[in-house]
Amino acid sequence: QVQLVESGGGLVQAGGSLRLSCAASGRTFGSAAMAWFRQALGKEREFVAVISTSGGTTYYTNSVKGRFTISRDNAKKTVDLQMNSLKPEDTAVYYCAARYGSVRYNPNEYDSWGQGTQVTVSS
């Protein structure tokens, strides 16, 4: 397993940008598909974006397509989520997650999780 620590959350006005970062420890980071999920208050955890082990494949939930970009640096063992044109409905705790193998959208298929970072978008 990898250990994950998120950073970069905060309070931003609608239309603004934030960049989340997830730092991983462990020697097998390069073998893990990495994803971002989010959970708003009172709602279930939902898929946001995922990136394959090589970084060559990415998928996004429809509501963030064209606004969010996921990227990874296997040498630095980091995965980032650049969030632009933020909306109040993006407000949630954002979690970084890892799984060995191919990309998946279901949070139950992820083995390792960070502690989460709060993103709040004011209108």
Supply the pLDDT for residue 52: 97
Backbone angles phi, psi at 121, to 5 degrees: -115, 120
**Sequence-separated (6 or more) residues with CB below 8 Å from residue 66:** none
Statement: residue 57 has pLDDT above 90 = yes
CA 117 to chain centre: 10
Spatial distance between the Cα atoms of 32 and 79, rounded to a whole number of angstroms: 11
Strands (E), 8-104: 10-13, 18-25, 32-39, 46-51, 58-60, 68-73, 78-83, 92-100
Residues 22, 48 contacting (CB under 8 angstroms):
no
In whole angstroms, give the CA distance from residue 106 to residue 45: 10
* Residue 116: band (very low, low, confident or very high) from pLDDT cuts 50, 70, 90: very high
Amino acid 2: pLDDT = 87
- Above 80 in pLDDT, residue 1? no
- Residue 4 pLDDT more than 80? yes
